[in-house]
Amino acid sequence: MIVLSVKNLTKTYGANTVLHEVNFHVNRGDRVGIVGANGAGKTTLLNILTGLSSPDAGELFIAPSLTVGYLRQDGNFNSERTVYEEMLEALGDLVEMERELEALAGEIARRSESGESTRGLLSRHDRLAEDFKSRGGYGYRSEISGVLSSMAFPESKRSQKVSLLSGGERTRLAMAALLLRKPDLLFLDEPTNHLDIETLGWLERYLGNYGGTIVLVSHDRYFLDKTVNRIFELEGQGFAAYDGNYTAFAEKKRLRRQAELSAWEKTRHEIERQEEIVRRLRGHGTEKLAKRARSREKRLARIDAPERPASEPSRMRMRFRQRYRSGRDVLSAEGLSKGFPHEGARRELFAGVDLDMKRGEHICMVGANGIGKSTLLKLLNGELAPDGGLLQTGHNVMIGYYDQEQELLDDDRSVLDEMTSSYGLYSETELRGMLGSFLFTGDTVFRKVGVLSGGERARLSLLKLMLSGANLLLLDEPTNHLDISSKEVFEEALREFPGTALIVSHDRYFLNRIPSRIVELTRDGLVNYLGGYDYYAEKKEAEGAGKRRLAALSKSAEPGRAADARETAGGADLSDAAARRRRNKEASAAEKRRLRALSLAEERIASLEGEVRAFEARMCETAILADHVLLREYGERLKEAKDELAAAYDRWMELQDA
């Protein structure tokens, strides 16, 4: 069922057309990811779809009675309520029903004591209680607690006023409140901003089980791979829709461009060949060959010459060069610790941090929000002093630092002046050429740094870093604010960089491509994982499973016998081990059968959706519309296909739940 469609949607700002005759539809249950370069119109499109902005032309349809929710990237969520009160407000209807049930229960008790009839009140109470139960009322407080915990709001934060939260915390709270409301049609603009890796994983699982339809804008390729089944791309004023996740989209787009270019070149070569034949025939000067030349010209005129495929949009050009090579030992830290005063006490961020970096290593750092990753980078860069521990920089090490907030940029300068202030030995022509390679062209070099978008500020900071010639890069969330194309260019530049890099990031696609190892910052120091993100996630899951088993054994042990429980866990007898292996083998076989059945169910759904689309298209044809008998027959076949599709989805959901 179509829940959202647009036809010939157009939006213009002054002389700049952002969206031009965009057409698409979204079916119930779709998970749509919208991608495109910064400034392509993604947020503009969401604002139009949610009614915050109006198109200049075109039509918009949203199925009636649907509830709609929108998480804006710049929502500026604010309130004088506490965090928990704001969550209660999101479920205001359930809270009101609960109050009414309590009031009815009190009135029933009062009338019973006085001997009055309570039949009507009991009937009303039962109906309301059943409705309350069916809507999850008896578990809504637990649901609030679970969502808040997953969005990194501990108990200590829940009584805090929303107005006192940081920008990132307000964004997370706005998302938590929106998810609790469970709208039928959910719009999300960059939902992964301000989320750490653990919270990202929770959000992916939550959206995977979400009952409604989702349309989201994101530059997070890993997140798109995990959450969407369709991709809408905005490029240049054009629009294209693809089935599948981000990886499937990227491959299909590559193949499509390749096919378009091949077709264009084939046609161009054929035209050139025919023109050469005509030239040669005319060159002989005979009437007979002249007739053949005219015949060839007519054939040539009938060739439908396609337009040359649009070239790829301009991409940032980047290459990191080190001015000179460092020694083999680049940076070492031993026992670093750091804390800050907090509410009259001292809050320890981390302690016992040991780090040994060798020349050429590309290391990525992960950790929970607030654990102190940015603080540790500032310690290594010399901006802050540690409370304890030793820090040593190797021979010939030159540090280049990328600040997540770009606080090192001067908002009052123009883009060109910002470059001149740091690299005055270059001529203006040279600097403008460099800025052009980072997509600052024409008069954009005279814009104030303070009015640049997040993506533009990020590109300017990266250009300054690239020109520094540093051989040790300390990068704090460098892919934030970059669009996907710029991320890919940046990744390739880092992969070719011969120097050393320590990068804080929660971009899991990036974490799979760049690091030779991942280090996780904890309260007690750094933990090393010798691989990319998938390896890190696998090891973390194994560690978590081990801790859960140990906790279960400890819980089942007698009081004071936790040590015995641990000993039992480490030395379980062979019969128990054999039984576990057998159960694991059976569970593995069952999971393989489930995945096979799931794959078949998805293939069946795709086939049935194709049938439904085909029937709907045929029923719009003039010949079918004029034949009532045939139209009725197609209507019945369409209904059968839709019924089969519904049954297939039921089976698919059963397998997913399993």
- pLDDT over 80 (residue 342): no
- pLDDT over 90 (residue 333): yes
Mean pLDDT of the chain: 85
Q: CA angle, 145 as apex, 140 and 149 as ends, to 5°? A: 145
Task: Give the pLDDT mean for 107-134.
Answer: 89
Instruction: Decide which of 619 and 478 is more confident.
Output: 478
- pLDDT over 70 (residue 575): no
CA quadruple 163, 166, 169, 174: dihedral, nearest 10:
40
Instruction: Decide which of 33 and 590 is more confident.
Output: 33
Task: Give the pLDDT mean for 265-287.
Answer: 76
Instruction: Decide which of 484 and 598 is more confident.
Output: 484
What's the pLDDT band for 586 if we cut at 50, 70, 90? confident
Task: Give the pLDDT mean for 359-377.
Answer: 92
Instruction: Decide which of 599 and 461 is more confident.
Output: 461
Instruction: Decide which of 344 and 467 is more confident.
Output: 467
Q: In DSSP terms, which residues pair with 70 in a beta bridge?
A: 187
Which pLDDT value is given to residue 496? Answer: 93
- pLDDT over 50 (residue 572): no
- pLDDT over 50 (residue 565): no
Asked whether 302 and 267 are in contact (CB, 8 A), the reply is no
Which pLDDT value is given to residue 412? Answer: 92
Amino acid of residue 147: V
Asked whether 200 and 192 are in contact (CB, 8 A), the reply is yes
- Ranges of H-type helices in 284-311: 287-302
Which pLDDT value is given to residue 46? Answer: 94
Which pLDDT value is given to residue 285? Answer: 62
DSSP state of 295: H
Lowest mean pLDDT among 21-30, 223-232, 455-464: 455-464
Structural tokens at position 566:
């641990």
Which pLDDT value is given to residue 331? Answer: 95
Asked whether 615 and 638 are in contact (CB, 8 A), the reply is yes
Cβ neighbours of residue 237 under 8 Å, at least 6 residues apart?
17, 18, 19, 20
Phi then psi dihedrals of residue 526, to 5 deg: -100, 140
- pLDDT over 70 (residue 129): yes
Report for 216-230, 313-327, 442-456, 643-657: range of highest mean pLDDT: 216-230
Residue for token pair 């057998």: 582
